[in-house]
Amino acid sequence: MIFSVIRKDKNTNARKGKLVLAHGEVDTPCFMPVGTQGAVKTITPEELKSLGAQIILSNTYHLGLRPGIEIIEKAGGLHAFMHWDGPILTDSGGYQVFSLADLRNISKEGVTFRDHIEGTLHTLTPEKSIRIQQALGADIIMAFDECPPYPSEYDYTCKSLDLTLQWALQSRESHTDGPQILFGIVQGSIFPDLRRKSVEELEGIGFAGYGIGGLSVGEPKSLMFEIAEYTAGLLPSEKPRYLMGTGTPDDLITQIAFGVDMFDCTVPTRYGRNGTVFTPYGKMVVRNARYRDDHRPIDEECGCYACRHYTRAYIRHLFNTGEILGNRLGTLHNLHFYLKLMKGARQAIAEGEYEKFKKEFLNNYSGSEFQ
């Protein structure tokens, strides 16, 4: 991997960079659409490229269960299996195990859990997580970690962090030479001293980049911003910084100013499939009754496929009659919106005007429904 910071904003910590990976280049800051099971829901790889997606995220836990690593290896790896020739990042499976709190048992060796499909017993260790990710052939793979819930007591978080740091070392030792690069994951919940300890020890182990984990798990947004900014400021400037699992458009625009380079979240695709779309002025629940006779596009200033060809009234009709085309159009629009927003952020940083860009966006954008 080669990562270079091309330009820093003059008034914030925002930075424009470039990642050179085995399957292509990625301009940062970037948003990674989530293809949990080897597919971004309702969207083809060709459509993703046409929207401007440069890198996507897939999930170790889900792909390890179905279809199984052996099948993907026989297909030639995940890129060939899913017909995507651009870069892929795979998560370690740690967050999915976190979400199975009622079905798991954590020990120093790893996590034993019952899967969400058939209730079959599995064990996931740092070594196994790395082995699966390398078999998938992802460009960026993640160290195995434990994501503590919010709220967590300080003593529990200390023990959780010690475990995560031990697993980070085991992940690093299990990582063999090859095209995949390995990121460590910073944990420590909302405690600044534990976040600092995490960064310092991960740097000592040595990783190609760093994920900021353990946020967007129920804490207030103001606290998420505070810890994200603090943690990003601790990370080495020459390495890429990846804020995991967050978030809404205003989240991303705020956190780019902290010096974060990479984001992923299911928000644009999940909301799009459920009839909520994003605009520069806020979100729109297009399936609501007020749009029944509204023959304007979702966003009159948007150039996406959905806005060029279809009206709010028609898209509402699709959702309310259960037509799959509605899910596709909502997802297409939202991903176009997110990826265009990242492109605008990169341009603003290149011009040294990110603070102005951020203020204008946040002044216009409202988390409540836009009409």
Please identify every residue annotated as catalytic: 91, 264
| Neighbouring C-alpha atoms within 13 Å toward the C-beta of 34 | 20
Tell how far CA 188 is from the center of its chain.
19
Residue appearing with tokens 């729109």: 284
Beta strand 262-264 with 209-212: parallel, antiparallel or unpaired? unpaired
User: And the tokens for 212?
Assistant: 């900021």
Q: Is the peptide bond before 67 cis (omega within 30 degrees of 0)?
A: yes
Tokens 């990710």 -> residue: 133
CA distance 231 to 29: 17
The conformational region for residue 349 under phi > 0 = left, psi -120 to 50 = alpha, else beta, is alpha
| Residue in 26, 32, 20 with CA at minimum distance from that of residue 339 | 32
Q: What distance, in Å, lies between the first and last C-alpha atoms of the chain? A: 45
CB-based burial label for 313 (10 Å; 0-12, 13-18, 19+)? middle
